[in-house]
Structure 1
């Protein structure tokens, strides 16, 4: 189904030729601050980055906004205490988020393999109180099935 006003879905996640994913704009009015435009991303990454940045000791301010839901980008504003630049602390926050996501993925894989008795796609998950969640083993997915069609 394609309408006149419906943008192509690939426009929301595929970079165009010559398009930069990150654009840094130094703030001239606020010390140690920058506004960073991140294209082809949305609230998911914006909120995770903001939360990660706020947990870091060198951050004085971190906030983001999505100016318009049909425009595939968000703007994040960062101010540091001056001991590190906004760009460097953003890179550090990204590295920490990647490590967190990798750890979370390995924990999910381990738990699903353990609770399924080593068989992928069976669909059972044992609760600590002895009850069990049952699912319909899916088509594989990123974690090899496991039964959660819809959470």
Structure 2
């Protein structure tokens, strides 16, 4: 079979950065973030979180090729912010939301398992 091993989709190779940043030379306050070993799940979540920021004019992502395990997130911001600031804010906000979701879930599991 020509298909690569499944674990290759998730393990970042030695010496490769998880996230790399590349400024757009043609558009002011625009940049691309390449996130290694991720797919539509993370791309769509990050894109939606970026759209919540009032300083973000455009946020989108693409999967360059189905056999390349990376996504490219494009961000264009107003002059009051930078793509790096918007990206960092989005990631930090997602981290807080996921921590809250985990705490609520664990509390509910503890409550339900205590009833039995």
**2:59 is equivalent to residue 62 of structure 1:** yes
TM-score (norm 1): 0.72
User: Could you list the per-position Cα deviations for residues 85-109 of structure 1 after superposition, in whole angstroms to 9, with x for gaps in the alignment?
Assistant: 1112111110100110010011111
Equivalence map 1:54-133=2 (5 Å)? 54-117=51-114
**2:28 is equivalent to residue 28 of structure 1:** no
Select between 42-51 and 106-115 the one with higher mean Cα deviation.
Answer: 106-115
TM-score (norm 2): 0.92
Shift of 1:67: 1.6
- Deviating above 6 A after TM superposition, structure 1's stretches of 4 or more consecutive aligned residues are none
Q: Choose between structure 1 and 2: higher helix proportion.
A: 2
Of the two, which has the highest radius of gyration? 1
Instruction: In structure 2, list runs of 5 or more residues that go unmatched.
Output: none
Instruction: In structure 1, list runs of 5 or more residues that go unmatched.
Output: 120-151
CA RMSD of aligned residues (A): 1.3
Select the structure with the greater relative contact order (CA < 8 A; seq sep ≥ 6).
2
* Equivalent pairs, count: 116
